[in-house]
Amino acid sequence: MAIVPSACNEAQVGDIAKVVLMPGDPLRAKYVAENYLESPKCFNKVRNMYGFTGTYKGKQISVMGSGMGVPSIGLYSYELFHYFNVEAVIRIGSAGGLADNVKLRDIVVAMTASTNSNYAAQYNFPGLLAPVADYTMLTKAMDSAKSRNVNAIAGSVYTCDQFYYAQPDLASILKKYGHLAIEMETAGLYYTAMAAGKKALSILTITDHLFTGEALTPLERQETLNDMIQVALETAWATI
């Protein structure tokens, strides 16, 4: 058996499905595995970044935490694509709303992600490399949301390296240029997938709004995230 050169994932080749759902929180990965996958098996516990593989409607699907920020999701998704033969990663996370037409509990499907991250500098691309989603997966996610009567909006998001940003006018600038939401991982995932020639999609639930000040309670977050999880699972199932 080939030795996988990873210090962060103890799985062996074949333990992980071709499509992986990636929440930031590893405990959310555990929640998805225990509540939505049949016969889930844990393939990783290193650094408590839990990963599981099970079946959903007869097809093998994995779920694994990514941690917070571009460097973390970049590391884990790179290894999934390059070491474990994963073909597609679907981020399932929370985001702060920016646009007026984005409400609490809405799902945002990220077509692209502006960012202040320097992650793409490593590729020496002649200009600014635009991080984009896989279009086929995006349309499948939108169709899945519609079939479930879940309000989903596709558009641009902003991936920020800082959770606490020093300049107070950031949200207004992002809103001016048409960004739907702000979060911390999507651009890193898209860059990594593009460089690997693989597929990626980011599906986000609006759990708070930067302009209205509204925010979901912990119970509401749990119930709303279930819609996002089910949309992502249906998208993963259709992608295999």
H-state helical runs in 37-90? 70-83
Q: What are 199's two structure tokens?
A: 């597929």
Q: Is 208 a catalytic residue?
A: yes
**Residue ranges in the chain assigned as alpha helix (H):** 26-36, 70-83, 135-147, 170-176, 186-196, 218-239
From 25, 143, 161, 208, active-site residue: 208
Per-residue CA distances from 177 to 85, 93, 181 (Å)? 37, 22, 11
And the tokens for 227?
């819609």
Q: For residues 160 and 107, what is the distance between their CA atoms, to the nearest angstrom?
A: 19
Name the percent of the chain in helix, strand, coil, to the closest 5. Answer: 35, 30, 35
- Looking only at the bridges linking them, the beta strands covering 51-56 and 152-159 are unpaired
3-state secondary structure of 65: coil
Please give the positions annotated as active site.
208
